[in-house]
Structure 1
Amino acid sequence: MEDTPEVLTGWVENWSLLSQSWRVALVVFGLVFATATVAFIVSRVILYLEHRFERSENIWDDTFLHALRRPAIGFVWLQGVYWAAEVAHKYSQADIFSVNDVLLELGFIWIIVWTLFGAIKQGESVLASPMRMKRPMDYTTVNAISKLLRAVVAITALLTVLQSLGYSISGVLAFGGVGGIAVGFAAKDLLANFFGGFIIHLDRPFKVGDWVRSPDRNIEGTVEKIGWRLTTVRTFDKRPLYVPNAAFTQISVENPSRMTNRRIHETIGIRYVDVGEMSSIVSEIREMLKNHEEIDANQTLIVNFLAFNSSSLDIMVYTFTKTVEWVKFHEVKQDVLLKISDIIESYGAEVAFPTRTLHVAESVRVESRQSDNDERVPDDGEKSRSSMSGHGQTSQSADSGPVREPSGPGQHTTRGDEGESQ
């Protein structure tokens, strides 16, 4: 056998101390043991070089060695097991050993694909790492390039495997061209999602980690993963939402993560009796916002008397914070509102709340006083007997009893109807 070491073949054929079957078994065992020893040595050597190169300024040498270490061990085992199988095949008629050459060729393809996949994965982690790159690339872009390279490697490996098994690549490509039309019609939704994912990677309206929401659909949360078919969004109640990529080509998507400022827009009302202090209050609130360290004075800042409302004089406060962080924004907003409250109180004014004033006609008030004067005055005995309860009964009568109007048809009314009867 040409690929079998000549010294092993000669030893099997010429050493007569043992039977041929024992000699073959010893040679196979020796090859497997030697393969394990060499694989261990190769692993230790590559691991030593990897740690050695980690201290160098080049970030790619140790990365390449890390991607190469396991495939190198696999290559050693592939070659050693192939030699052992060839020795066994020379002295055995088993059909399983007849495919040694094909398995060796497929094994080499597998080792190459394994190495390339490892190198792509290591390159992805390096390019997106802020610890290893001064200007790291966007993870979404790196992930898209990585997936594309993996697809190219996988398709190339598949075509090479088919060629090694005796299939014509030209026939496979021709079948793919004709059958691709039927597959395209049958899997149009799958292809729509695939190209939707490609558009997301190309246009990058959002990336992994962004907060997105859609005014057209009930979609809001943090992007966790952008796949070729689905995009995973983690909603704010911590539920995963799986959105087909084709949906993003048909809806509007808002990306609040890319906002430059957060807005404070409040309407604050003061009482009507404080109208004389309105101008001073508005001016001081405006100055406070301009000098606030967390308010961006370069953005639109509006503090003005807005409207005469039903129960208040409204002041509009419209400004933007420097921070875009959700928690810190609310801390800044709380500080601003408390300072506005202090300004209003410093002028003796108050924040208004809904009130209602009831105006009673003069004739009703005069009649009520006359009715009180006409009531009987109790004597001393009655005063002593009613000292504990008389006053409360009189108050109750005055508060809840009917008030008599001047005699006339249809002019008897209660106090609750006073405004309406006048």
Structure 2
Amino acid sequence: MDGFLAWWRSSSEELNFAWLEHIAVLLAMAAFAWLVWRVVFGRLVAISMKTKTEWDTIMLQSVSVPISVLIWLWPSSFVLDSVIAVTEKTGESWLFISRRVMVFAVILWIMLRLVNRIEAYLMKSDTRDQTTVSAMGHVLRLLLAVIGVLTALQAFGISLTGLLTFGGVGGLIVGLAAKDLLSNFFGGLMIYFDRPFSVGDWISSPDRNIEGTVERIGMRMTMIRTFESRPLYVPNSVFSSIVVQNPSRMQHRRINETIGLRYKDASKMAAIVADVKVMLETHPDIEQRSTLMVNFDAFAGSSLNFFIYTFTKTVNWARYHEVKQDVMLKIVEIVHAHGADFAFPSRTISFDKDEAIEAAIPVPEAIGGTSNTP
């Protein structure tokens, strides 16, 4: 015990433990600053909850965690500086650089959190295009990441000129090796800026077996939910070489049907066609500004055909079929009201009188008999 006390006294005289007081003061100041920040932050949040806009809440949520981390890390860097000074090792230069990088990293962190929260806020709105919002979020995050990496390299004394020169040659090599990845990336940019479809659209392609509702547009692939509720993942580069139909952007849906009447109802065709046209012109769910045609157009094998060609106001798939059903039922009522009826496939066979008598005489060979003619 006496030996340990003697070693402790000698060590205290050599190391001068006054630096412990300096560390304690720094940590106490950090704790006090953090408590003050939490109180101020709580008051600001309470005030923002009473305002009509959500932008102040988004800003506060973005800076809350990064500033708390900075309050603890900044004094900790000076604590580390004091520990290094006691060991008589020079480390002030890189610590100074580290503080600059730390401040810039916190700012970059705040910007990234702000971009994420603004994107989430805008995605909740039905009035904004979610595809454009998602695209701008991806681009801003990528831009901030590149700025952060280049700034950190420059702060630590790495020449960006040589790095960019090497990056030009290396980029060519990487570009050749990752050709498909880059084509998918630029295909995603094409979708974002040309906007042939958006999240929630029903799309189909006559070139490929692709049809369903778009659920997510990523930087590499697009996720489509088929009508069988199966997820379909399509690389973005595919959309640059195929035809894509977007039924979700139709203005109207078409009704194009052919109706056949019996030949014996030919005298009633004109009146039926006229009444059907009047019915369509007065129907509340038929678009009157689009093409509307009802005409007798064909002598079919077993029917006299007339067609209807018109458009509904709705583009909703389920509602469209309800309107079409109502139109077809009204046509049935009009046809029956005129004493006519619909034709069905049939065939009529007729014989001349002499041919009918001849056809009725039995032939001996046909009934298995023999002829007695000499």
Which TM class, normalised by the smaller chain length?
0.7 to 0.9
The correspondence of residues 289-368 of structure 1 with structure 2, limited to 5 A, is 289-359=280-350, 362=353
Partner of 1:114: 109
Alignment pair present for 1:123 and 2:118: yes
Residues 62-111 of structure 1: per-residue CA shift (max 9 Å, x gap)? 32222111111121121243244334444457999996545444432321
Corresponding residue SS for 1:161: helix
Distance between the aligned counterparts of 1:228 and 1:345, measured in 2?
59
Partner of 1:45: 40
Partner of 1:250: 241
Partner of 2:216: 225
Unaligned runs of 5+ in 2: 1-11, 369-374
Alignment pair present for 1:204 and 2:195: yes
Alignment pair present for 1:190 and 2:185: no
Distance between the aligned counterparts of 2:333 and 2:362, measured in 1?
56
Distance between the aligned counterparts of 2:297 and 2:28, measured in 1?
90
Residues 191-244 of structure 1: per-residue CA shift (max 9 Å, x gap)? 222221112222111111111111111111111222222112111111121111
Residues 143-178 of structure 1: per-residue CA shift (max 9 Å, x gap)? 212211111110011011222333221111111112
Please state how far the C-alpha of 1:406 moved relative to its aligned partner: 3.5
**Structure 2 vs 1, CA of residues 273 and 40 (structure 1 numbering), >3 Å: closer, same or farther?**
farther
Alignment pair present for 1:406 and 2:361: yes
Please state how far the C-alpha of 1:297 moved relative to its aligned partner: 1.1
Aligned amino acid, residue 287 of structure 1: V
**Structure 2 vs 1, CA of residues 21 and 337 (structure 1 numbering), >3 Å: closer, same or farther?**
farther
Distance between the aligned counterparts of 1:162 and 1:109, measured in 2?
12
Determine if contact 1:212/1:222 at 8 Å carries over to the other structure.
yes
Please state how far the C-alpha of 1:257 moved relative to its aligned partner: 1.0
Distance between the aligned counterparts of 2:84 and 2:267, measured in 1?
108
Determine if contact 1:234/1:241 at 8 Å carries over to the other structure.
yes
**Structure 2 vs 1, CA of residues 29 and 351 (structure 1 numbering), >3 Å: closer, same or farther?**
farther
Distance between the aligned counterparts of 2:329 and 2:237, measured in 1?
47
Partner of 1:147: 138
Higher relative contact order (CA 8 A, sep 6+): 2
Please state how far the C-alpha of 1:347 moved relative to its aligned partner: 1.3
Please state how far the C-alpha of 1:303 moved relative to its aligned partner: 0.9
* Aligned pair partner of 2:154 in 131, 140, 163: 163
Distance between the aligned counterparts of 2:250 and 2:48, measured in 1?
42
Distance between the aligned counterparts of 1:201 and 1:41, measured in 2?
44
Unaligned runs of 5+ in 1: 1-16, 368-403, 414-422
With the length of structure 1 as denominator, give the TM-score of the two structures.
0.75
The correspondence of residues 269-288 of structure 1 with structure 2, limited to 5 A, is 269-288=260-279
Determine if contact 1:222/1:234 at 8 Å carries over to the other structure.
yes
Determine if contact 1:405/1:411 at 8 Å carries over to the other structure.
no
Partner of 2:72: 77
Corresponding residue SS for 2:232: strand
Residues 9-31 of structure 1: per-residue CA shift (max 9 Å, x gap)? xxxxxxxx9x9899867875675
Partner of 1:394: none
Distance between the aligned counterparts of 1:323 and 1:304, measured in 2?
24
Distance between the aligned counterparts of 1:281 and 1:47, measured in 2?
76
Determine if contact 2:205/2:211 at 8 Å carries over to the other structure.
yes
Determine if contact 1:51/1:62 at 8 Å carries over to the other structure.
no
Q: What fraction of aligned residue pairs are identical, expressed as a percent?
A: 41
Distance between the aligned counterparts of 1:228 and 1:59, measured in 2?
29
Of 315-324 and 109-118, the range deviating more from structure 2: 109-118
Corresponding residue SS for 1:158: helix
Corresponding residue SS for 2:245: coil
Partner of 2:225: 234
**Structure 2 vs 1, CA of residues 329 and 22 (structure 1 numbering), >3 Å: closer, same or farther?**
farther
Determine if contact 1:405/1:412 at 8 Å carries over to the other structure.
no
The correspondence of residues 353-392 of structure 1 with structure 2, limited to 5 A, is 353-359=344-350, 362=353
Corresponding residue SS for 1:223: strand
Distance between the aligned counterparts of 2:354 and 2:75, measured in 1?
119
Determine if contact 2:81/2:91 at 8 Å carries over to the other structure.
no
